[in-house]
């Protein structure tokens, strides 16, 4: 499996290696050099645009996930606060009953 991955990576690296070789040997025709420079510039711009778009998509995904998590945390916090308030209310009722000498109600299970 590792050999296949290495071979695929090597094969994919060959075109950039040929481009580097071509850049080292200047062509005799200057218009050809200009065309090559334009082609390389266009490729770099295209690749930069792809990377920027991927970063933008990734940032959107992270923002959506963060928003979703924030909503879940807020809902859980609200639910927890309601449970704490209900427990505190029951505790206050029991304390009041005990202070007044009343029999405290049994805990529901």
What is the average pLDDT score of the chain? 80
Query: Does 25 map to a domain?
Result: no
What is the model's pLDDT at position 3? 52
Q: Is the distance from CB of 104 to CB of 94 less than 8 angstroms?
A: yes
Give CA–CA dist 94/34, Å, rounded. Answer: 89
> Tell me: the pLDDT tens digits for 54-100?
999 999 999 999 999 999 999 999 999 999 999 999 999 888 888 88
Show the domain range for 64: 51-98
Domain count along the chain: 1
Is the per-residue pLDDT at 109 higher than 60? no
What phi and psi, each to the nearest 5 degrees, are found at residue 107? -70, 130
Query: Does 89 map to a domain?
Result: yes
Give CA–CA dist 42/48, Å, rounded. Answer: 10
Give CA–CA dist 38/86, Å, rounded. Answer: 71
pLDDT above 90 as % of the chain: 50
Give CA–CA dist 99/41, Å, rounded. Answer: 85
Query: Does 71 map to a domain?
Result: yes
């Amino acid at each position: 499996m590792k050999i296949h991955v290495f071979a695929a990576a090597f094969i994919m690296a060959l075109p950039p290696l040929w481009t580097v070789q071509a850049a080292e040997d200047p062509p005799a025709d200057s218009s050809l050099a200009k065309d090559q420079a334009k082609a390389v510039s266009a490729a770099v711009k295209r690749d930069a645009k792809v990377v920027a778009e991927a970063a933008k998509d990734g940032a959107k995904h992270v923002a959506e996930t963060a928003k979703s998590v924030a909503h879940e945390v807020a809902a859980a916090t609200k639910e927890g606060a309601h449970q704490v308030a209900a427990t505190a209310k029951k505790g206050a009722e029991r304390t009041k009953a005990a202070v007044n000498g009343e029999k405290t109600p049994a805990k529901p299970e």
